[in-house]
């Protein structure tokens, strides 16, 4: 008979569980309802995957992110464990085939979005399955006090009626006591057993520096720290630029972003994993499923989106329990851009209503009508047609999906990307010999800088406007340039599949959720405010602040964050004799050099230096450095 330990070793190759995985698995196998609050990297998935494998039937996994579902299905399939999900836009006949395969094909996991549970057909099909467990991932989404409230999560409780014999496990990495209570009530859990693992990381030093020359500081850091590292940046272009910069300074680096081909991603990831290139520069596309225990350093070159993102990404360091560092570099411009981005992307309720109404008009859907089929949807074309700002529409579509009004595949805002493969000379020769397309090529090069250095996103509508041609002709021109080996061109091969889940009711459909939407938008603003306050903080221990944010009360300082280290230096008593002794070894010193030598704060040092000048023991020379006064 199999046991949790045997399953763990057989499929995952581990001998022991992390605390408190084994206790959670035992409670699930005892058919108890469970809530598990585990920080990022705490191994939440195993807490439902192992008990599901030990029982007859299928585990139903509710997850909010298509990408995460696809990733987990892929990982389970690699282990020869049968898992599947319901793809967007498939017909009812295809759904019937899928559920027959699950029922008769010994599938162990079915991943499904909470929005899918609104379908009565899906509900009936789930009722026919032998479900051994319901796992609710990102369970904080069920609470309006959570950082990513999704009303569709409130419908998950109906599974209690569809599958009365299946127990529930709700998993989250970010929840306080109020949210945990909401999870229990809204999922109708029966006397749930709650497991909470502290967010405190004794070995992880959170260090935040207000600095202008970030590249110089990165070089200083890597000269001191020789451990495997991740550098997070906010654009694909920066991943390439900073990786090249580090390589030029003899720090072996690779880069990673969503625009790379699967082969490039795999190669760069393996190079980092095997430490052929110990440093990887990445966007936040890099992270899901990473389990490299000896990462000693995570650097944020740009501000992450929120405290949750910051904790999640820095949490990839020090999983071997050895001393590690989470370093964030910022300046006043970063803060201004972060605040501006929030202002530019968060819509008003009126803007949500307007975009929602135009979506129905775009597809000629009459009031009261609901067409139960998917529509091909070109995101950029829609924004251009109605003169909507792209960033806001992106957020609005996600809100409409979150509130169960729409369902969309995840590739709606992807763009064409290309890189120049040939030299400047070859491009010039081609342009001179092919006048018609040469004109287009010149416009392309003038519109987008950096095409010779890295892969760049292209807006075909903008190019069409500038060249006075159709978007179809733009695509033909790009194909021609690729056929002549001048560019590497990645077209957007599929449009989004958009499905309307409710009849057209215009403002009324939004008004039903207006209170919750306003709260959701307000929380988004608060997240920016909270994060900026956390970054600018220079008085309270970083760990104490983070624990407080996630509902843990702690008065014990970590002792290793930048604030704690600064406070230690401030308390350190320096004597004038210690300062004078330094000049026995060096004739002249700046105040910065004195602070560094004595490992002390600048303020008390300057007071001592002023005293030493006033008493004629030190003078300031022409190089603006201190030296002993000649007698």
Query: pLDDT tens for residues 93-134?
Result: 888 999 999 999 989 999 998 888 888 899 999 999 999 999
- Provide the pLDDT for residue 76: 94
Host domain of residue 623: 572-628
Q: Does the structure show a pLDDT above 80 at 570?
A: no
Domain termination residue (choose one: 196, 220, 238)? 196
How far from 129 is each of 203, 291, 372, CA to CA, in Å? 45, 33, 24
Burial of residue 408 (number of CB atoms within 10 Å: 0-12, 13-18, 19+): buried
Question: Can you tell me whether residue 212 is helix, strand or coil?
Answer: coil
User: How many C-beta atoms surround the C-beta of residue 109 within 10 A?
Assistant: 25
Q: Does the structure show a pLDDT above 90 at 38?
A: no
User: Where residue 486 sits, what CATH number does that domain have?
Assistant: 1.10.10
Q: Encode pLDDT of 445-469 as tens digits.
A: 888 877 776 777 777 777 887 888 8
Which tops the pLDDT comparison, 263 or 326? Answer: 326
Sheet holding 167-172, edge to edge: 83-85, 109-112, 58-62, 131-136, 167-172, 34-37, 193-196
Residues 520 and 398 in one domain: yes
Domain assignment of residue 106, yes or no: yes
Q: Does the structure show a pLDDT above 60 at 413?
A: no
User: Where residue 612 sits, what CATH number does that domain have?
Assistant: 1.10.10.10
Domain assignment of residue 549, yes or no: yes
- Provide the pLDDT for residue 119: 84
Largest CA distance in the chain: 99
Q: Does the structure show a pLDDT above 60 at 17?
A: yes
Question: Can you tell me whether residue 209 is helix, strand or coil?
Answer: strand
Q: Look up residue 324 and give its two tokens.
A: 């590690």
Domain assignment of residue 276, yes or no: yes
Which own/partner contact pairs does 78-85 have at CB distance under 8 Å and 24+ positions apart? 79/11, 79/12, 81/11, 81/49, 81/53, 81/108, 81/109, 82/106, 82/107, 82/108, 82/109, 83/107, 83/108, 83/109, 83/110, 83/111, 84/109, 84/110, 84/111, 85/110, 85/111, 85/112
Question: Can you tell me whether residue 355 is helix, strand or coil?
Answer: helix
Domain assignment of residue 10, yes or no: yes
- Residue range 185-193: average pLDDT? 93
Q: Does the structure show a pLDDT above 70 at 144?
A: no
Q: Encode pLDDT of 288-344 as tens digits.
A: 556 688 999 999 999 998 888 898 889 889 988 899 999 999 999 999 999 998 988
- Residue range 347-365: average pLDDT? 94
- Provide the pLDDT for residue 437: 85
Residues 407 and 550 in one domain: no
When mean pLDDT is compared across 196-205, 214-223, 536-545, the lowest value belongs to 196-205
Angle, nearest 10°, between helix axes 379-386 and 390-402? Answer: 120
> 34 with 169: CB under 8 angstroms?
yes
Q: How far is CA 455 from the centre of its chain?
A: 21
pTM: 0.68
Angle, nearest 10°, between helix axes 435-447 and 424-433? Answer: 140
Residues 34 and 179 in one domain: yes
Residues 90 and 158 in one domain: yes
Q: Does the structure show a pLDDT above 80 at 140?
A: yes
Q: State the Cα–Cα distance between residues 81 and 439, nearest whole angstrom.
A: 54
Residues 117 and 143 in one domain: yes
Q: Look up residue 616 and give its two tokens.
A: 């004629």
- Provide the pLDDT for residue 568: 80
Domain assignment of residue 520, yes or no: yes
Residues 348 and 213 in one domain: no
Residues 409 and 420 in one domain: no
Q: Encode pLDDT of 601-621 as tens digits.
A: 787 888 888 888 888 888 888
Residues 185 and 85 in one domain: yes
- Provide the pLDDT for residue 148: 61
Residues 225 and 94 in one domain: no
Domain assignment of residue 566, yes or no: no
Domain termination residue (choose one: 172, 196, 220)? 196
Question: Can you tell me whether residue 345 is helix, strand or coil?
Answer: helix
- φ and ψ of 399, to 5 deg: -65, -45
Sheet holding 374-377, edge to edge: 374-377, 496-500, 406-408
Mean pLDDT in the chain? 87
Domain assignment of residue 530, yes or no: no
Domain termination residue (choose one: 196, 222, 240)? 196
Q: State the Cα–Cα distance between residues 396 and 359, nearest whole angstrom.
A: 11
Q: How many domains does the chain have?
A: 5
Residues 71 and 146 in one domain: yes
> 175 with 183: CB under 8 angstroms?
yes
Q: State the Cα–Cα distance between residues 92 and 582, nearest whole angstrom.
A: 81
Q: State the Cα–Cα distance between residues 274 and 64, nearest whole angstrom.
A: 32
Domain assignment of residue 210, yes or no: yes
Residues 151 and 287 in one domain: no
Residues 129 and 10 in one domain: yes
- Residue range 184-200: average pLDDT? 90
User: Where residue 16 sits, what CATH number does that domain have?
Assistant: 3.40.50.300
Q: How far is CA 426 from the centre of its chain?
A: 40
- Provide the pLDDT for residue 261: 76
């Amino acid at each position: 008979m199999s046991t949790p330990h045997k399953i763990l070793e057989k499929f995952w190759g581990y001998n022991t569980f992390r605390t408190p995985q084994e206790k959670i698995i035992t409670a699930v196998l005892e058919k108890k309802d469970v809530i598990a609050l585990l920080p990022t990297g705490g191994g939440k998935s195993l807490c439902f995957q192992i008990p599901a494998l030990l029982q007859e039937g299928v585990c139903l996994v509710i997850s909010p992110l298509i990408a995460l579902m696809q990733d987990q299905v892929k990982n389970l399939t690699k282990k020869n464990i049968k898992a599947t999900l319901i793809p967007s836009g498939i017909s009812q006949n295809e759904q019937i085939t899928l559920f027959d395969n699950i029922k008769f094909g010994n599938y162990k996991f079915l991943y499904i979005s909470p929005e899918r549970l609104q379908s009565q057909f899906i509900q009936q099909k789930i009722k026919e399955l032998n479900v051994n467990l319901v796992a609710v991932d990102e369970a904080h989404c069920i609470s309006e006090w959570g950082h990513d409230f999704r009303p569709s999560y409130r419908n998950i409780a109906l599974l209690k009626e569809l599958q009365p014999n299946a127990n529930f496990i709700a998993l989250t990495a970010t929840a306080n006591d109020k949210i945990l209570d909401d999870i229990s009530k809204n999922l109708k859990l029966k006397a749930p057993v709650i497991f909470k693992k502290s967010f405190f990381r004794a070995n992880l030093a959170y260090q935040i520096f207000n600095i202008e020359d970030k590249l110089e500081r990165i070089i200083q850091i890597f000269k001191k720290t020789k451990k495997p590292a991740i550098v997070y940046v906010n654009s694909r272009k920066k991943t390439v630029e900073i990786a090249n910069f580090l390589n030029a300074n003899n720090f072996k680096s690779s880069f990673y972003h969503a625009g790379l081909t699967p082969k490039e991603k795999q190669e760069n990831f393996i190079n980092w994993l095997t430490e052929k290139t110990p440093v990887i520069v990445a966007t936040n596309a890099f992270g899901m499923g990473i389990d490299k225990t000896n990462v000693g350093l995570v650097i944020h070159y740009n501000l992450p989106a929120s405290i949750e993102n910051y904790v999640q990404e820095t949490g990839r360091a020090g999983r071997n329990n050895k001393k590690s560092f989470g370093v964030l570099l910022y300046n006043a411009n970063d803060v201004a851009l972060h605040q501006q981005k929030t202002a530019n992307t968060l819509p008003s309720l009126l803007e949500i209503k307007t975009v929602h109404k135009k979506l129905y008009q775009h597809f000629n859907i009459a009031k009261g009508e609901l067409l139960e089929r998917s529509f091909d949807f070109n995101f950029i074309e829609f924004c251009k047609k109605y003169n909507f700002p792209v960033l806001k529409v992106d957020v609005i579509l996600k809100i409409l999906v979150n509130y169960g009004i729409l369902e969309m595949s995840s590739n709606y805002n992807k763009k064409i990307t290309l890189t120049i493969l040939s030299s400047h000379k070859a491009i010039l020769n081609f342009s001179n010999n092919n006048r018609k397309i040469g004109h287009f090529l010149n416009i392309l090069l003038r519109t987008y800088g950096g095409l010779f250095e890295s892969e760049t996103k292209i807006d075909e509508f903008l190019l069409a406007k500038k060249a006075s041609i159709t978007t179809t002709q733009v695509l033909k021109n790009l194909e021609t340039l690729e056929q002549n080996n001048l560019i590497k061109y990645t077209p957007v091969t599929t449009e989004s599949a958009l499905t309307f889940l409710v009849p057209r009711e215009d403002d009324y459909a939004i008004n039903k959720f207006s209170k919750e939407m306003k709260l959701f938008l307000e929380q988004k603003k608060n997240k920016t405010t909270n994060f900026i306050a956390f970054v600018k903080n220079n008085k309270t221990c970083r760990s104490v602040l983070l624990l407080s944010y996630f509902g843990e009360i702690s008065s014990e300082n970590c002792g290793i964050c930048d604030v704690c280290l600064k406070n230690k230096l401030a308390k350190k008593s320096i004597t004038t004799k210690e300062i004078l002794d330094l000049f026995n070894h060096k004739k002249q010193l700046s105040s910065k050099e004195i602070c560094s030598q004595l490992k002390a704060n600048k303020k008390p040092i300057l007071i001592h230096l002023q005293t030493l000048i006033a008493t004629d023991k030190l003078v300031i020379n022409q190089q603006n450095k201190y030296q002993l006064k000649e007698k």
